[in-house]
Amino acid sequence: MASQKGFTLIELLIVLAVLAILAAVVVPNVSGFLNRGKDTAYKADQRTMQAAVDAWRSDVTSRSGNQYPILDSDKTNIGTPSGSRNSYVDVAALYTSGYFRGADVVASANTSLNTSATNSPSGTYGWYVSVTGTVMTSPTFSSGTYP
Q: What is the pLDDT of residues 60-115, one digit of tens each?
A: 667 767 788 888 666 666 677 866 656 788 888 888 889 988 778 888 988 887 66
Q: By three-state DSSP, how is residue 85 classified? A: coil
Q: By three-state DSSP, how is residue 137 classified? A: strand
52 — pLDDT class (breaks 50, 70, 90): very high
DSSP designation for 136: E
Q: Per mean pLDDT, which range of 41-55, 71-85, 122-136 is the poorest?
A: 71-85
Q: How far apart are CA 47 and CA 134, in angstroms?
A: 10
Among 6-10, 15-19, 33-37, the range with the most confident prediction by mean pLDDT is 15-19
Q: Does 46 score more than 90 pLDDT?
A: yes
- The pLDDT of residue 85: 57
What pTM, to 2 d.p., does this model score?
A: 0.74
Q: How far apart are CA 65 and CA 50, in angstroms?
A: 19
Q: Which residue has the higher pLDDT, 114 or 43?
A: 43
Domain extent listing, the chain: 40-138
Average pLDDT score over residue span 35-52: 92
- The pLDDT of residue 48: 94
Q: How far apart are CA 25 and CA 102, in angstroms?
A: 41
